[in-house]
Amino acid sequence: MNVTQRAAGANMSVDVNVSSGMAGILMATSTKIPYFGYMDAAKNISVTASDPSNPRIDTVVAYVDLTVISSATTNNLAAFKFKTVPGTAAGSPTAPNAAAIQASIGAGYPYEILADVAVAAAASSISNANITDRRTAMTFVPTTYDTKANSERRWDEGTPNYVASGCVWSGDAYASTRAASMIAGVVYINGVRLTVAAVTARTFTASKDTYIELHDNGDGTAVVTYDEVANNAASPALTANYVRIGIIITGVSTIAAASSINQGTTSTPVVSSVPLLGADSLGNQIYPHVTAKTHVGLINPYTFSVYRAAALTPAAGGVLTCDTKEYDTGNNVDVVTNKGRFTAPIAGLYSFKAEARFLSTTNTQNFGMTLNKNGVVVKNGSAFVQMFNGATSTVRTYVNADIRLAANEYVEAAVLSDGTEALNVSGVATDNYFQGFLVSTT
- Residue with the bigger pLDDT between 366 and 199: it is 199
Between the alpha carbon of residue 83 and those of residues 110, 112, 138, the distances in Å are: 13, 11, 21
Identify the three-state secondary structure at position 409.
coil
Q: What pLDDT digit, counting tens, does each position of 139-197 carry?
A: 655 555 455 555 555 555 556 787 888 888 889 999 999 999 999 988 888 888 899 99
Positive or negative torsion for Cα 400, 402, 406, 407: positive
d(CA 114, CA 135): 5
Q: Which of 70-74, 176-180, 315-319, 381-385 is predicted most confidently?
A: 176-180
DSSP 79-121: SEEEEEE-----SS-----HHHHHHHH-TT--EEEEEEEEE-T
d(CA 272, CA 264): 18
Q: Are 366 and 385 in contact (CB under 8 A)?
A: yes
Eight-state DSSP code of residue 259: G
The architecture that CATH gives domain 303-440 is Sandwich (2.60)
Q: Are 286 and 394 in contact (CB under 8 A)?
A: no
Q: Are 60 and 83 in contact (CB under 8 A)?
A: yes
Round the average pLDDT of the chain to a whole number and report it.
Answer: 84
Residues of the chain with CATH 2.60.120.40: 303-440
pLDDT grade for 294, boundaries at 50, 70 and 90: very low
Eight-state DSSP code of residue 315: P
Which of 282, 305, 320, 297 is closest to 396 using CA atoms?
320
- pTM metric for this prediction: 0.41
Q: Give the whole-number percent of the chain exceeding pLDDT 90.
A: 48
d(CA 281, CA 154): 30
pLDDT grade for 291, boundaries at 50, 70 and 90: very low
Q: Which residues of 413-425 are buried (b: 16+ CB within 10 A; e: fewer)?
A: bbbbbeeebebbb
Minimum mean pLDDT among 26-30, 144-148, 262-266: which range? 144-148
Q: Are 330 and 345 in contact (CB under 8 A)?
A: yes
Q: Is the pLDDT of residue 276 over 70?
A: no
Peptide bond connecting 301 to the previous residue in cis, omega within 30 degrees of 0: no
